[in-house]
Structure 1
Amino acid sequence: MDRRFFIKAIPMAGVAGTLGTDKGMLKAMAAEKPAPDDRTYNVDLLIRICKPVISRLSEGKLTASMPTEVAPNYAKPVTKVTYLEAFGRTLAGLAPWLELGPDNTVEGSKRIEMLTMTRKAIAMAVDPASPDYMNFTGKFDSQPLVDGAFLAHGLIRAPKELWGKLTPTTQQQVIDGLISLRSIKAFTNNWVLFSAIIEAMLLKFGAAWDRKPIDLAVQKIMDWYKGDSMYGDGAHFHYDYYNSFVIQPMLVDVLKVMVEKGEGEKENYELALKRMQRYSAILERQVSPEGTFPVVGRSIPYRNAAFQALAQTALEHKLPEEISPEQVRCALTAVNKRIFEAPGTFDKQGWLQIGFCGHQPEIADVYTSTGSLYLCTTGFLALGLPAQDPFWSGAAQPWTAKKAWSGAMVKKDHSIDY
């Protein structure tokens, strides 16, 4: 026997002898394929999360097919709120990647498909004649204000590929739906930003807007500042991730739109951004060497949305100087693998299930339903950076905790006093 053939044949013979069937052989060969790079992994994971929502809605079949799992003691009219929750939150995280637009790569072909479906989904959500027309009123519950705000935030994040390519009819229906949410009074906490981000979106796209909710939100949030980058969720401080779920990303983007449109002071935007940079440094340091992070505070089933502020600073090329884009990529990818590869995260049809690391309904707060879970997409904002950006193309680097716990050099940490 030819020696080269003999060497090659030994491992294959061993596999065949062990597995014995063509099916087993194919499974073994598939297992030998190299793991995808970090970007491919995250793109495919984001699509896996988003596609059930976007594809069903684009066909007018969301309400007919989406589960309505709820937390213990849930007390909302779930069918009146959960669908806008799922769509608005999905759009808030998916939008930056879609804004890259079509190209001739494998990833680009995936993006073209998702862009086409997402534009159809938006039209379905706001067309009164659609079977999936969504509730933009406070008639049944105040929750639509929250998720209309996430929808508005998503459109702000994709002005060219989403808003700019909607039909005039659909654009007007979006505006009408968001304006109707003015009837809902925001609670005196992070909710003030929901009204503000909607008005900022209307301002950005040339619709009639109201300054009062923006001025109120900015004043309140600034008054609730507690120090070292952290805002209170209302007058009191809560140890949770709402600075990342809502407060800092929405505050910074509201102020950014105001500056762009000549309606706000640049100093306010720059101050909020500096605080979010410090907060991003704190978030990055919370990722353990194993890719875990503290399970603390309410709304834990939002999963990796706890890192929205960090992902947004990366997207805007505004990371703190002491943090490299590459180490953030590696940290967030490690977190995503720990969370989304846990058994029970998805049901058999591909929908997210209530939990943090798997299916854990008991960890959910009383306002949590299936739709709520899709805020996790905001942990993927950095996919809005092109593949050539150093965030994705640079060599892997250990993040802060991984360096610290391995005995490597780590620079000292300092608070801020502004």
Structure 2
Amino acid sequence: MTAPAAPPSPRPPTSGPPLTRADWERTADQLLLAVRPFASARHGLVHLPGSPSISGRWSDGLEGFARTFLLAAFRLRGAGGNDPHDLAAWYAEGLTAGLDPSGPERWPEFAECNQAKVEAASVAIALHETRPWLWDRLAPSVQHRLSGWLAGMVGQPMPGNNWVWFQAVTEAFNRTVGGPWQQADLDRTVEQTEQWYAGDGWYSDGLSGGAHRNFDHYNAWAMHLYPLWFCRVLGAAAPDGLLDRYRTRLTRFLDDARHLVGANGSPLVQGRSLTYRIAALAPFWTGALFAATPLPPGQTRRVANAMLRHFLDHGAVDEHGLLTPGWHHRFPNLLQVYSGPASPYWASKGFAGLLLDPSDLVWTAPEQPLPVETADFGRTLAGPGWLVAGTRSDGVVRVVNHGSDHVDPARCATDDPAYARVAYSTHVAPEMPDDPSGGPADSCVTLLDAAGRAAHRRPLTRLLVAGHVAVSRHRAHWPEDESPDPFRGPDTTYRLGPVLTTASVLRGDVEVRLVRVDPAPTPPDVAAAGPWRVRIGGWALPDPATVYTVPGRLPRAEARGAGGLWSSIGELGGLPVAEVLRRTGSNPIGTSSAVPILTSLPLRSLPAFCAAVVRLASTGLTADIVPGAAIAWPAPAGPATVTVRWPGGATDTVQLDPPSPGEDPACTTTAATPNAGSRTSSTGISGPPSTATPSR
């Protein structure tokens, strides 16, 4: 298909007064109009250009219809049916074509395409929101076929994660129009959601190995949105107390979530499906719609306007007005196998605020600053196992991760950069190179084997997350195939090495990163034997203007970006080798990137200790910033007490204990009895079974 001429740009002004509701409506209209040239003759399928997902072109066409239909529904309902672009008629024609069992634009049934279950939820919500203008005006025969298509969800097995809500929301809508539904499906969804609630407003997106380990933006754009929309669709038929329960949890979550947005408007660059971008606004709008938010209206407005501008200013929309696959610019390495050309249109959830009345204070109140624009802060998030620090001077939010990795804690896995890194931020992104061989470099603590390959981290074991200190432990392992995947990674073999205990002490823009290396109770595989070297990687800085390495008694490595941000790492002990790794085409934010790294000499004996100061800030490392770390250990195999003394007099004490006798951190179910040349076999898979589509 020849690309059409570009429609008017959906980009609102990058500066000036706060965006208005009219700006948001205009942006929605232009996004919707841009996809029309790519629709089939009667609009039942929307085939956007790009590489197909693992589900194939047919599924991707349904996705293009369903996800843009959701945006159209928010636009139409919010305008009270005022429809200058004939959205209702355009999508009604698409519904009719998609449900014609003998037509060329027929939608796949759920038995034919698992991914259709995801899109059914968008169709159901869109139909609910536009009922007076769409459903009620469809021919009875089309209503019957549509209800029958949705009924295919009844009794269907669902993956144990956010997918259960696709079923519940779909059946809830079908119930309201007299179609088939099943109470057992709804009850099971509510019960499973309770199992996944980790407290303080945080849901794990399902369980990994029976544990809460799956923390990412799905907590925001799925696990809080769908339960409340389920109640909205059912109205008085919703189970008693459920609406209040979900409202209370969302209110609590949003108090954390507003601290995870940078002054640049970016959400945290962590987790899978990042191509959904402003879908991260979904919980903020949902909180305003359901009176379930601690944010004053002006702060909700600030979050929304800043995030929309951030992505539109950084390449989220191409020259044809289409949302691109990526984060800032087009960046396919960020995608998962389930991502197709229309996947970015889950961003439609980021327009749910159009359902608010034009007179609502969220649209009319003056903007109020974000937490990071008001003052420096530190925050402990017990659910995901994160420490958070924001600094007003540069608007940067930083997270150190010692509790979330999205894998079974008992089995070796390859590292996915969206989950396995020690640190994440709103201003930089993890490296995602075309070729992952060689292992992690940025925001990592790892061991290099004799060939210079870096070990992987997942799974990690959370030891402590409190105050300014977080500690975790993992067993170094080297996968034969290093392909990243959020669910576990490919079937491959692993070589096992020593145990690493890592601590982060975080105050403001400075992290002291401490490492202890111990022999594992199960000896390393011969093929993974040393000599090992410790690597600590700093933040990956996009588009560096200058890089530095400073040798000497206290070596350091630094990179300065064109925008004034610095990524720095300095030695506090045991890491005499400084370097800056430079890459092109491996970062979702910049065309090039630089990673400051410190490395030890080959370890002569274990235990071994290393320490570094890691910084992402508007200036480089100077003597008045670098804290001191006094490491004392009473015996070679005993506990180590590390006291970090900060400029200004504050101190933090960290206990870096060795693994307990008999403790073999992680990888235990895959470890073979080591023999000469033995290898550890991995029998897991990267996602759901091959008969199912990987989870969205």
Q: CA deviation at 1:362?
A: 0.6
Q: Deviations over 1:277-301 (max 9, x none)?
A: 2222322222212211210011111
- Which residue among 30, 40, 49 is the counterpart of 1:67? 49
1:198 corresponds to 2:170: yes
1:245 corresponds to 2:218: no
Change (3 A) 1:138 1:404: farther
1:305 corresponds to 2:283: no
1:83 corresponds to 2:61: yes
Change (3 A) 1:118 1:290: same
Q: CA deviation at 1:102?
A: 5.1
Asked if the contact 1:60–1:130 (Cα under 8 Å) also holds between the matched residues in 2, the reply is no
Question: How many residue pairs get matched?
Answer: 361
- Which residue among 169, 172, 176 is the counterpart of 2:144? 172
Asked if the contact 2:40–2:46 (Cα under 8 Å) also holds between the matched residues in 1, the reply is no
Alignment gaps of 5+ in structure 2: 1-12, 377-391, 394-696
Distance 2:154 2:89 in 1: 30
Q: CA deviation at 1:310?
A: 1.5
Asked if the contact 2:265–2:303 (Cα under 8 Å) also holds between the matched residues in 1, the reply is yes
Query: SS in structure 1 opposite 2:198?
Result: strand
Change (3 A) 1:64 1:245: closer
Q: Which moved more, 1:187-196 or 1:398-407?
A: 398-407
Distance 1:185 1:170 in 2: 27
Q: CA deviation at 1:350?
A: 2.7
Change (3 A) 1:404 1:384: same
Q: Deviations over 1:214-272 (max 9, x none)?
A: 111100001211110111211233121111222221112224444522xx432122111
Q: CA deviation at 1:156?
A: 2.5
Q: CA deviation at 1:145?
A: 0.9
Distance 1:135 1:143 in 2: 9
- Which residue among 286, 302, 314 is the counterpart of 2:288? 314
Q: CA deviation at 1:209?
A: 1.6
Change (3 A) 1:60 1:208: same
Asked if the contact 1:123–1:170 (Cα under 8 Å) also holds between the matched residues in 2, the reply is yes
Asked if the contact 1:58–1:117 (Cα under 8 Å) also holds between the matched residues in 2, the reply is no
**1:362 alignment partner in structure 2:** 333
Asked if the contact 1:54–1:87 (Cα under 8 Å) also holds between the matched residues in 2, the reply is no
Distance 2:127 2:77 in 1: 10
TM-score normalised by structure 1 residue count: 0.78
Q: CA deviation at 1:79?
A: 1.2
1:127 corresponds to 2:105: no
Alignment gaps of 5+ in structure 1: 1-30, 408-418
Asked if the contact 2:275–2:327 (Cα under 8 Å) also holds between the matched residues in 1, the reply is yes
Distance 1:168 1:218 in 2: 32
Distance 2:198 2:321 in 1: 40
Q: Deviations over 1:8-60 (max 9, x none)?
A: xxxxxxxxxxxxxxxxxxxxxxx9x9878422221122222223445754842
1:99 corresponds to 2:77: yes
Distance 2:40 2:90 in 1: 6
Distance 1:216 1:180 in 2: 17
Q: CA deviation at 1:157?
A: 2.9
Q: CA deviation at 1:65?
A: 5.1
Asked if the contact 2:45–2:98 (Cα under 8 Å) also holds between the matched residues in 1, the reply is no
Q: Which moved more, 1:381-390 or 1:294-303?
A: 381-390
Which residue identity is paired with 2:24?
N
1:337 corresponds to 2:309: yes
**1:372 alignment partner in structure 2:** 343
Considering only CA atoms, is the larger Rg found in Structure 1 or Structure 2? 2
Q: How does 1:148-163 map to 2 (within 5 A)?
A: 148-163=120-135
Change (3 A) 1:62 1:158: closer
**1:267 alignment partner in structure 2:** 241
Q: CA deviation at 1:403?
A: 2.2
Distance 1:330 1:308 in 2: 14
Query: SS in structure 2 opposite 1:226?
Result: strand
